[in-house]
Amino acid sequence: MHELPQQLANGLILGALYGLVAIGYTMVYGIVQLINFAHGEIFMVGGFGALTAFLALPGGTSLWIAIPLMLLAGILVSTLVAVGAERFAYRPLRGAPRLAPLITAIGLSIVLQQLVFSFYPDAKKARVFPKIPGDPFELAGITIQRSDIFLIIAAPLCMMILGWFVAKTRSGRAMQATSQDPDTAKLMGIDTDRIIVMAFAIGAAFAAVAAVAYGLRTGQVDSRMGILLGLKAFTAAVLGGIGNIYGAMLGGLALGLTEGLATGYIQHVPGMDLFGGAAWKDVWAFVLLIVVLLVRPQGLLGERVADRA
């Protein structure tokens, strides 16, 4: 059992990645009750934005300079794509039946995947992304990849900034007000269109941070990386209670831990040896989702829908 701390650490790191992407689902849902299924692709284009910056830099640039620039490029691309999607794909459909924006979102994710090909014709194959060089280091008996340092710093930092922004600033309060009652918020002088754009932009920026972390962690990006990760992040958002930013991160961490522990331990449970290992980790993630939704349909930190009305 000495590997337990290691499995927990792996699970938490993976979970933080899910959580960062889940923020985007949860913020947009909280404000406009729209599930932006193209968010996984917004995550993906962020990765390619960062890759573009990396390729544009002269070879041998120190990663201390390269990573911030890649991050900036990734955030820029993701945010522009998300804001553009909101303006031209979702806004015209506001007030339409809910199915319409949902199908638009699916269409949009196909468009974005194809769009990447026009810049990177071989995007389907893994594109090499830089890694932070150096051997993994040990901390209290846990081995941590150097590339994960970025995520370990970025995830809590992003959450702290977001938490402060939503609770303490004028725009954040306007955001809370809009999510509770958009019509009243308008009458308080809040330009809700702007708030919606802001929610898309913040979600996209977080997705771009996650994409850089993903690239550094796996050493590659490809045009399909948003599909499964987007699905997992959406699961995390639902698990934590969609509409709640802390719930999104908590759901992400819970999901990551479940996957980590399922990978490590399920096969040791008597009679379960067939269902263990990495191949089954996604199954256990969704088993967790089903169990939580049976016991707490509103998610871990979600409110009862009646309260939100």
Q: Is 204 in contact with 42 (CB distance < 8 Å)?
A: yes
Beta partners for 144?
137
Is the Cβ of residue 140 or residue 187 nearer to another protein in the bound state?
Answer: 187
Site for another protein contains 79 (CB under 8 A):
no
Region 247-306 residues binding another protein, contact defined as CB under 8 A:
303
Closest approach, Cβ 163 to another protein, in A, equals 13
Number of residues that bind another protein (CB under 8 A): 26
Binding mask 181-220 for another protein (x = CB under 8 A): x-xxxxxxxxxx-----x----------------------
d(CA 89, CA 111): 12
3-state secondary structure of 138: strand
d(CA 22, CA 234): 6
Closest to 18 (Cα-Cα) out of 172, 198, 239, 174: 239
Is the Cβ of residue 181 or residue 273 nearer to another protein in the bound state?
Answer: 181
Closest approach, Cβ 206 to another protein, in A, equals 14
Beta partners for 138?
143
Token couple for 280? 């089954």
Beta partners for 143?
138
Closest approach, Cβ 295 to another protein, in A, equals 23
- Which sign does the torsion angle of CA 229, 235, 239, 242 carry? positive
d(CA 140, CA 205): 33
Helix axes 99-119, 225-240, angle to 10 degrees: 150
Q: Which of these ranges, 97-105, 143-151, 165-173, 224-232, lies near another protein under the rule CB under 8 A?
A: 165-173
Is the Cβ of residue 186 or residue 224 nearer to another protein in the bound state?
Answer: 186
Exactly one of 4, 180, 272, 278 binds another protein (CB under 8 A); which one? 180
Is the Cβ of residue 143 or residue 184 nearer to another protein in the bound state?
Answer: 184
Closest approach, Cβ 38 to another protein, in A, equals 23
Helix (H) or strand (E) holding 192: helix 192-218
Is the Cβ of residue 3 or residue 191 nearer to another protein in the bound state?
Answer: 191
Beta strands in the chain, from DSSP E residues, in sequence order? 127-128, 137-139, 142-144, 220-221
Region 25-44 residues binding another protein, contact defined as CB under 8 A:
none
Exactly one of 124, 156, 169, 228 binds another protein (CB under 8 A); which one? 169
Closest approach, Cβ 302 to another protein, in A, equals 12
Binding site for another protein (CB under 8 A): 161, 165, 168-174, 176-177, 180-181, 183-192, 198, 303, 307
